[in-house]
A and B are shown apart, each in its own frame.
Chain A
Amino acid sequence: MAKGIMIIVEQRNLQIRKVSLELLSQGRKIADQTGEPLVAVVLGQGIDELASTVTANGADKVILIDDAKLAEYTTGAYTSVLNKLIRKEEPTAVLLGNTAVGKDLAPRLAQRLGVGLASDCTGMEYDANSFLSFKRPIYAGKAFAYLTSNVRPIMATIRPNTFPLAAPDAARQAEIVKEAAEIDSADLVAILKEVAIAASKRPELTEANIIVSGGRGMKGPENYGILEDLADVVGAAVGASRAAVDSGWKEHKFQVGQTGKTVAPTLYIACGISGAIQHLAGMGSSKFIVAVNKDPEANIFNVADYGIVGDLFEVVPLLTEEFKKLVNE
């Protein structure tokens, strides 16, 4: 019996996160292959307007759970609501993004439901025997494990940037269902009162497709402007090496490396970064690495696909100019 592929859509400030749209895109494909409906679940407050976006991106059915207690993500409330919903809907598969929220929510939910969880997957395909098969890197990406499960629902979290985005179809129609939030008081262990965020329009480091990163060669916080210009032209996130963070030029949340964030964008542009092993540990698995450094001996050139030996204060503005031309074409 077709119960559906359920995507738990993640939204923040009424913006649907990219990974959720990626999941909808891939989910649509599998739904078409199997005839299972694609069910999108959105939690939050004042989320009605999101239904159209979700529909356009491939959902057959949209379940909206609108409640003040769900305005911001809290582990207890979201677990409580989703546990009940999944038990009621009995979907064949439940999929989440492998984001901070997904990583927090999915294991807890899996435990409540008494099912397994394939976490941090980088692939998902239809499998004739068990419905879905997930690809998961092991041994630091040296090998892949393929996971399936015969228990229902099959649960998985998928790494951002795994699936391409399909073009949204505004003409799509979907069944919109509103459910009430039933939260067990025992699950309300924490209540979020306020979220203080540093405003940034750029994508988040771990989700970004392109990252422009600056190191000690930036010489000071005031010079990050040239990286930000470049980043804005190509839609990139801005990162920093430990040296730059230690010097107080950038906050720790921008740090890429062993003790900062581990990233794997399609393109990583390293400016004035020497390429210490601690930094490489955090970005070495980027698909393409471009290095700009005035020291031809810098270790970053050993891992870079393209190296530019030169003063970043000359090179980066030139790059920005050229990209601008390309983007405008």
Chain B
Amino acid sequence: MATRQVYWNVEGHHWLYLFFIVALAIFGYGVYKRVKLWKLGQPENRWKDVWPGIKDVIVYTFAHKRILKDGYPGLMHAGIFFGFLFLAFATAIITLQADFALQIFHGWLYLFIKVTANLFGLAALIGIIVAAYRRYIQRPDRLDNKPDDAITLALLFAILLTGFIIQGARIAVLPDPWAGYAFVGQWMAIPLKAMLNEAQLLSLHVFLWWLHLALAMAFIAYFPYSKLFHILLGPLNQFFRNRGPIGIPEPIDFEDESIETFGKSQLREFSWKALFNTDVCLRCGRCQDNCPAYLSGKHLSPKRIIQDMRVLMEETGVALQEQNKVLAQAAGQEAAAASESEEAEEWTGRALIGEVIPEEDLWACTTCRSCEQQCPVFVEHVDKTIDMRRNLVLMETRFPAEAQLAFRNMENNGNPWGIGWTTRADYLTGLGVKTYEEDPNAEYLYWPGCSGAFDARNQKVSAALVKLLQAAGVHFAILGNDEKCCGDSARKLGNEYLFFSLATENIEVMKGYGVKKIITQCPHCYNFLKNEYPQLGGDFEVIHHTVFLLDLVKSGKLKLSNADRKTVTYHDSCYLGRYNEIYEQPRELLKAVGLNLKEMAHTGEKSFCCGAGGGRMWLEEHEGLRINEMRTDEAIAVKPDYVGTACPFCLTMINDGIAAREAGEQVKALDIAEILEKAL
């Protein structure tokens, strides 16, 4: 029967257990230290849904769903991951045989292990060589190198290499009829046999066996002190990930008079999950590689923010320890033990905002969420930015000067431009649209948003959409002058109070009219009405116009001819795509009218923001390239006749980009509703 002797040629292998216990103790201490750091944060319940959590670990760890989205580093990672997965399996089976006297290391299982350990071990070896090549020779911008990276790679490489040589030496000495299954070991045996005699082979084998063992123990001991920790923390973070509507900031209860500060300016105000995140991040840089702010030359890097918070967490841990020491000296040992759990005194180290994270970084974010979307381990960046912006706005009154005007305009007139609120309904009623007051039985509320109501360019989109809805016989009405800004820009700029007042007024008005279903033409309004208003008690069925129009086309209520056979490229809005996973419906609509759809370099989940999200629409862009022009260049590169958009901000930004490139003769930016209207 196919098997082999465990501990062949090795005497005194029992020392292994002592080494193991030592390694395990170092491992345990390391984990304890990190857990203590995470517990500096506030409590938060992330143990909400177990089965979806397990499913996520299967999908995102074992099936590598997000990791493989970036092909080359993804495959490299897969090689290393599956290599060590099968080697760990082999080790586990051998442990069961050697230490638990289960006679299973033979027959087909033995051969299976031999083949998989060799095959995937080789894949891991190649993966590590590729990783070292990529990190130290190719040096992509997104990777920064620390000693830990080199140590980890060298450790893994040495473990794999010694393993293969040990196998080769054994095969060289001991005739093994099953050697063919251990093909890497067999290749190793050929040069070994040629160079060394049997005695030399035996001593090489035993030396490497102990070395391999020492390396493996070093792996265990080093684990929680190094990036190796991600093997455990990554899947845990996938398990703990937010599965609700994504990117929704925590509401602030302004009625609660016990709240003394708003937003977050201190590390310890964040939840344990936020601190845990910083350890989960292993600096792969996918976030940075897809961040419009970073790519356009701003100082902001999502990776750096998380890593800088990690450094601050460690500094906080050290400072607390020092504090406890001082207390211990002052009050004796008992008091020290008690003070361990007590609240720290005021933080006197580096300030989170300003010293650890520059304020400009907080304002540079467009909240496009590409960082979070690309992160294989679900690190959450954007909500932290919003929390810190809130602190700057609500506590410190420190924000870009331009935001002041937008805030005041929203306060006074319910729109960011400060146009008189009594004129909001003018354009749409001019098109013959009725208000809810005039037509209280309307089935749908049509929510044009500030852009659709006031902005001349986006009024054309409103006109097109109204025409389409009327052609399909949809019974709809508007709120008219009762509508106010949805509060997106206010909230994302950190002015939670303004958002709160705008949103509660809108909710009350809609409830007053008995609104049930809402059609929006702005993804920001869509996201807020659908996902954020429920926080304030506004539960409505909200439908974005692209989804609604597709339903009308599919059900035959909206009959469209084939438009001109032109080429279109679709620019995904962040708040429609990444925030709400509406990628396909807009594209289907474009195809439905016979347009030739071409994709840009960044598309779908990796779509590149237009630069207007997160309230950036109302701020100046002082540093680096202009994000909207970069995106327009991507669009122009596929030589389309139209750039299709589904968001008024995107439309404005792409329009500006086209004007800046003086490409207005070749390409037109149009909302999908406008494109469809041509095919009526």
A-to-B contact residues, CB < 8 Å: 138-140, 142, 216, 243, 246-247, 252, 258-259, 262, 274-278, 280-281, 284, 299, 302
Name the distance in Å between A136's Cβ and chain B's nearest Cβ.
Answer: 13
Among B413, B416, B455, B620: residue with most chain A CB under 10 A:
B620
What's the Cα separation between A142 and B456 when bound, in Å?
A: 21
0/1 interface trace, chain B 601-634, chain A, CB 8 Å (1 if under): 0000000000000000011111000100000000
Q: Are B405 and A262 in contact (CB under 8 A)?
A: yes
Using A140-B418, A258-B416, A281-B405 as known contacts, list a sample of 12 further A-B pairs with CB atoms less than 8 Å apart, ordered by residue number in A.
A139-B412, A140-B409, A140-B420, A216-B660, A247-B660, A252-B622, A258-B406, A258-B417, A262-B405, A277-B417, A278-B417, A281-B418
Name the distance in Å between B322's Cβ and chain A's nearest Cβ.
Answer: 34
Main secondary structure of the interface of A (DSSP, over half): loop
Whether A259 touches B456, Cβ cut-off 8 Å, given contacts A139-B413, A243-B656, A246-B626, is no
A-B pair count, CB < 8 Å, reads: 56
Q: What are some 10 contacts across the A-B interface (CB < 8 A)?
A: A138-B412, A140-B409, A140-B420, A243-B659, A258-B405, A262-B405, A277-B454, A277-B455, A277-B456, A284-B419
Q: Say yes or no: is B176 at the interface (Cβ < 8 Å to chain A).
A: no
Report chain B residues within 8 Å CB of A243.
Answer: 656, 659-660
What's the Cα separation between A262 and B404 when bound, in Å?
A: 12
Q: Are A299 and B417 in contact (CB under 8 A)?
A: no
Q: Are A258 and B457 in contact (CB under 8 A)?
A: no
Report chain B residues within 8 Å CB of A280.
Answer: 417
What's the Cα separation between A140 and B414 when bound, in Å?
A: 11
Whether A259 touches B618, Cβ cut-off 8 Å, given contacts A142-B420, A275-B456, A299-B457, is yes
What's the Cα separation between A172 and B313 when bound, in Å?
A: 71
B-to-A contact residues, CB < 8 Å: 402, 405-406, 409, 412-413, 416-420, 422, 454-457, 618-622, 626, 652, 656, 659-660
What's the Cα separation between A275 and B422 when bound, in Å?
A: 21
What's the Cα separation between A138 and B454 when bound, in Å?
A: 20
Among A138, A262, A281: residue with most chain B CB under 10 A:
A281
Whether A140 touches B405, Cβ cut-off 8 Å, given contacts A258-B618, A276-B457, A277-B455, is no
Report chain B residues within 8 Å CB of A262.
Answer: 405
Report chain B residues within 8 Å CB of A216.
Answer: 659-660
Q: Report the nearest B residue to A278, measured CB to CB.
A: B417
Report chain A residues within 8 Å CB of B620.
Answer: 252, 259
Name the distance in Å between A140's Cβ and chain B's nearest Cβ.
Answer: 5
Report chain A residues within 8 Å CB of B659.
Answer: 216, 243, 274
Q: Report the nearest A residue to B621, measured CB to CB.
A: A246
Q: A140, A246, A258: which contacts B413 (Cβ < 8 A)?
A: A140
Report chain B residues within 8 Å CB of A258.
Answer: 402, 405-406, 416-417, 618
What's the Cα separation between A296 and B620 when bound, in Å?
A: 29
What's the Cα separation between A247 and B620 when bound, in Å?
A: 13
Q: Report the nearest A residue to B403, measured CB to CB.
A: A259
Among A243, A258, A280, A284: residue with most chain B CB under 10 A:
A258
Q: Are A299 and B660 in contact (CB under 8 A)?
A: no
Q: Report the nearest B residue to A142, measured CB to CB.
A: B420
Q: Are A246 and B412 in contact (CB under 8 A)?
A: no
What's the Cα separation between A302 and B430 when bound, in Å?
A: 15
What's the Cα separation between A140 and B660 when bound, in Å?
A: 31
Report chain A residues within 8 Å CB of B626.
Answer: 246
What's the Cα separation between A285 and B620 when bound, in Å?
A: 22
Among A142, A275, A302: residue with most chain B CB under 10 A:
A142
Q: A138, A274, A275, A281: which contacts B417 (Cβ < 8 A)?
A: A281
What's the Cα separation between A213 and B621 when bound, in Å?
A: 21
What's the Cα separation between A258 and B652 when bound, in Å?
A: 14
What's the Cα separation between A139 and B405 when bound, in Å?
A: 13
Report chain A residues within 8 Å CB of B456.
Answer: 275, 277, 299, 302
Report chain B residues within 8 Å CB of A299.
Answer: 456-457
Report chain B residues within 8 Å CB of A277.
Answer: 417, 454-457
Report chain B residues within 8 Å CB of A302.
Answer: 456
Name the distance in Å between B47's Cβ and chain A's nearest Cβ.
Answer: 45
Q: Are A259 and B619 in contact (CB under 8 A)?
A: yes
Q: Report the nearest B residue to A140, measured CB to CB.
A: B418
Report chain A residues within 8 Å CB of B419.
Answer: 140, 281, 284
What's the Cα separation between A281 and B454 when bound, in Å?
A: 11
Name the distance in Å between B664's Cβ and chain A's nearest Cβ.
Answer: 10
Name the distance in Å between B600's Cβ and chain A's nearest Cβ.
Answer: 22
Name the distance in Å between A137's Cβ and chain B's nearest Cβ.
Answer: 11
Name the distance in Å between A143's Cβ and chain B's nearest Cβ.
Answer: 10
What's the Cα separation between A275 and B659 when bound, in Å?
A: 13
Among B420, B456, B626: residue with most chain A CB under 10 A:
B456
What's the Cα separation between A252 and B623 when bound, in Å?
A: 13
What's the Cα separation between A161 and B552 when bound, in Å?
A: 56
What's the Cα separation between A59 and B656 when bound, in Å?
A: 52
Among A142, A259, A299: residue with most chain B CB under 10 A:
A259
Name the distance in Å between A183's Cβ and chain B's nearest Cβ.
Answer: 27
Report chain A residues within 8 Å CB of B406.
Answer: 258
Name the distance in Å between A169's Cβ and chain B's nearest Cβ.
Answer: 41
Among A140, A216, A275, A277: residue with most chain B CB under 10 A:
A277
Report chain B residues within 8 Å CB of A138.
Answer: 412
What's the Cα separation between A302 and B406 when bound, in Å?
A: 23
Q: Are A246 and B660 in contact (CB under 8 A)?
A: yes
Name the distance in Å between B456's Cβ and chain A's nearest Cβ.
Answer: 4
What's the Cα separation between A148 and B454 when bound, in Å?
A: 36
Report chain A residues within 8 Å CB of B622.
Answer: 252
What's the Cα separation between A142 and B656 when bound, in Å?
A: 31
Q: Report the nearest B residue to A302, measured CB to CB.
A: B456
What's the Cα separation between A259 and B489 when bound, in Å?
A: 14
Report chain A residues within 8 Å CB of B413.
Answer: 139-140
Name the distance in Å between A259's Cβ and chain B's nearest Cβ.
Answer: 4
Report chain B residues within 8 Å CB of A142.
Answer: 420, 422
What's the Cα separation between A69 and B574 when bound, in Å?
A: 53
Name the distance in Å between B33's Cβ and chain A's nearest Cβ.
Answer: 44
Report chain A residues within 8 Å CB of B619.
Answer: 259
Name the distance in Å between A302's Cβ and chain B's nearest Cβ.
Answer: 7
Q: Report the nearest A residue to B413, measured CB to CB.
A: A140
Name the distance in Å between B554's Cβ and chain A's nearest Cβ.
Answer: 35
Name the distance in Å between A144's Cβ and chain B's nearest Cβ.
Answer: 14
Whether A259 touches B402, Cβ cut-off 8 Å, given contacts A277-B456, A299-B457, is yes
What's the Cα separation between A277 and B626 when bound, in Å?
A: 19
Report chain B residues within 8 Å CB of A246.
Answer: 621, 626, 660
Name the distance in Å between A177's Cβ and chain B's nearest Cβ.
Answer: 39
Name the distance in Å between B485's Cβ and chain A's nearest Cβ.
Answer: 14
Q: Report the nearest A residue to B664, measured CB to CB.
A: A295
What's the Cα separation between A73 and B635 when bound, in Å?
A: 50
In order of increasing CB-CB distance, the 9 nearest A-B pairs are A259-B402, A281-B417, A299-B456, A277-B455, A140-B418, A259-B620, A139-B412, A142-B420, A140-B412
What's the Cα separation between A278 and B618 when bound, in Å?
A: 9
Report chain A residues within 8 Å CB of B405.
Answer: 258-259, 262, 281
Q: Report the nearest A residue to B652, measured CB to CB.
A: A276
What's the Cα separation between A274 and B656 when bound, in Å?
A: 11
Q: Report the nearest B residue to A262, measured CB to CB.
A: B405
What's the Cα separation between A142 and B424 when bound, in Å?
A: 14
Q: Report the nearest A residue to B622, measured CB to CB.
A: A252
Report chain A residues within 8 Å CB of B656.
Answer: 243, 276
What's the Cα separation between A246 and B412 when bound, in Å?
A: 29
What's the Cα separation between A62 and B391 when bound, in Å?
A: 47
What's the Cα separation between A276 and B656 when bound, in Å?
A: 10
Report chain A residues within 8 Å CB of B455.
Answer: 277
Q: Report the nearest B residue to A299, measured CB to CB.
A: B456
Report chain A residues within 8 Å CB of B457.
Answer: 276-277, 299
Name the distance in Å between B45's Cβ and chain A's nearest Cβ.
Answer: 41
What's the Cα separation between A252 and B416 when bound, in Å?
A: 21
Name the distance in Å between A33's Cβ and chain B's nearest Cβ.
Answer: 34
What's the Cα separation between A246 and B409 when bound, in Å?
A: 24
Name the distance in Å between B481's Cβ and chain A's nearest Cβ.
Answer: 13
Q: Report the nearest B residue to A216, measured CB to CB.
A: B659
Report chain A residues within 8 Å CB of B418.
Answer: 140, 281
Q: Report the nearest B residue to A139, measured CB to CB.
A: B412
Q: Report the nearest A residue to B417, measured CB to CB.
A: A281
